[in-house]
Amino acid sequence: MSDTTQLLYPSLEKLVKQIKAINSAWKVAGDLYGNDSPLSTSSRDLKSCLQVRLLRLYAPTDVYLAIDNKAEGEPQFGLRLRESVDKYQDADHIPVRVANEILLPEEIKKFSQK
């Protein structure tokens, strides 16, 4: 696989690991600098972009959206993996509000199919 192809079509495993790493960085940035700091908001937005990329490349066959009824605060979609990647069963959460801003209604419907 060429370098360009790898950049355009990263593996499921690579995207999940990137999402997990950025999510951790976002939480640390929020603790250190506040949730509204440029580093925090940039990390949050990058995580959402990677999650959308994961969905567009791998849903609904390898990953799907599911409402997380246990999430606190605003409604959240969990990005559930059909098979674990390393020790991960999901690719974290994306607020329903954000998903509705970024994704088309048809995509949300498609990505929510189990």
What does pTM read for this prediction?
Answer: 0.93
Tens place of pLDDT for every residue, the chain, 114 residues?
Answer: 677 777 778 999 999 999 999 999 999 999 999 999 999 999 999 999 999 999 999 999 999 999 999 988 999 999 999 999 999 999 999 999 999 999 999 999 999 987
User: Which single residue is written with the structure tokens 């192809």?
Assistant: 5
DSSP structural state of residue 74? S
Tokens matching residue 32: 């250190």
Distance, in Å, from the CA atom of 91 to the CA atom of 24, rounded to the nearest integer, reads 12
Q: Using N-to-C axis directions, what is the helix angle for 12-33 and 38-58, rounded to 10°?
A: 160
CB-based burial label for 57 (10 Å; 0-12, 13-18, 19+)? middle
CA distance 32 to 15: 26
Alpha-carbon distance 92 to 79, whole Å?
A: 6
